[in-house]
Amino acid sequence: MEIIKFLKKHMQFTIFLTLALVIIGIAIFAPWIAPYDPYETIMQNSLKAPNKINLCGTDKLGRDVLSRVIYGTRTSLTMVICLLSITFVIGTTLGVIAGYFGKIVDEVIMRLADMMISFPGLVLAIAIAGLLGPNMVNAVIAIAAVSWTKYARLSRSLVLRVKESTFIEAAKINGTKTSKIIFKHILPNIINVMVISVVTEIGTMMLELASLSFLGFGAQAPTPEWGIMLNEGRTYLAKAPWLMVYPGIAIVIVVIVFNMLGDSLRDILDPKHN
């Protein structure tokens, strides 16, 4: 009953949470939802316009576009979850260490973060992905290498604020271990803001991963991924616009849903923001 009351009270959050769960469900159950095998090539069906059999048309190899868009949900979300997990853990850990211990540790970590920020993020990610080689794993590593700084700087600023609290000073006076102070007193006080940041970054990270794939540094053919589908479709934009329209619509929908979900979550967990 409490959950129902909460969901009714926060209708915007409920709506976008439902939509997010639907998107996640599509990713999980893609093999059962997709009408055809996204890898199956039927050359005689090449570049067929949307019809009753292929609702979103087919690509140059006769593969069903709808099936590839549905499977693309799984590929894109998996990559985003891996990317956010890496950046969140690394960034938050370094930020907490820098904020809590300060001095030379803080200087080294923050100067490293400043150095990474000084470069245009996507350009540096392209350079790293180019050096490592074009594939999904290296694309995630490349974007993580330039994205951890935002979490490090945010967590550091939150730790600096919490560290001055009376209960932290009392814990130090009582001889509480540093690890216990961090995990029991500091992390619980910053986790809400960090979670909000992660959720609001889902859309941005998805766009960055799709950008790398579009440029040829991310997912590679024949993987059904929205960025590479856009890249493959641009050659046939005039002849077969559906090759770019449907993956583009999928990206727009997912980005909007997760951005709005993040905003709604922020309004709930961080009411002082308004």
- Output the domain CATH number for residue 87: 1.10.3720.10
Residue 270, domain member (yes or no) = no
Residue 214, domain member (yes or no) = yes
User: What is the CA 17 to chain-centroid distance, rounded?
Assistant: 16
In this prediction, the residues of the chain whose per-residue pLDDT falls under 70 are 1, 270-274
Q: pLDDT tens digit string along 173-187?
A: 777 787 888 888 888
Residue 266, domain member (yes or no) = no
Residue 242, domain member (yes or no) = yes
Residue 193, domain member (yes or no) = yes
DSSP string, 57-68: -B-TT--BHHHH
Residue 271, domain member (yes or no) = no
Residue 87, domain member (yes or no) = yes
Per the CB < 8 A criterion, the answer to whether 109 and 152 are in contact is: yes
Q: What is the structure's pLDDT at 87?
A: 92
DSSP string, 3-63: HHHHHHH-HHHHHHHHHHHHHHHHHHTHHHH-SS-TT---GGGTTPPS-SSSTT-B-TT--
Rounded CA-CA distance 218/211 in Å is 8
Number of domains in the chain: 1
Can you give the residue range of the structural domain that contains 85? 13-33+55-258
Residue 192, domain member (yes or no) = yes
Q: What is the structure's pLDDT at 67?
A: 93
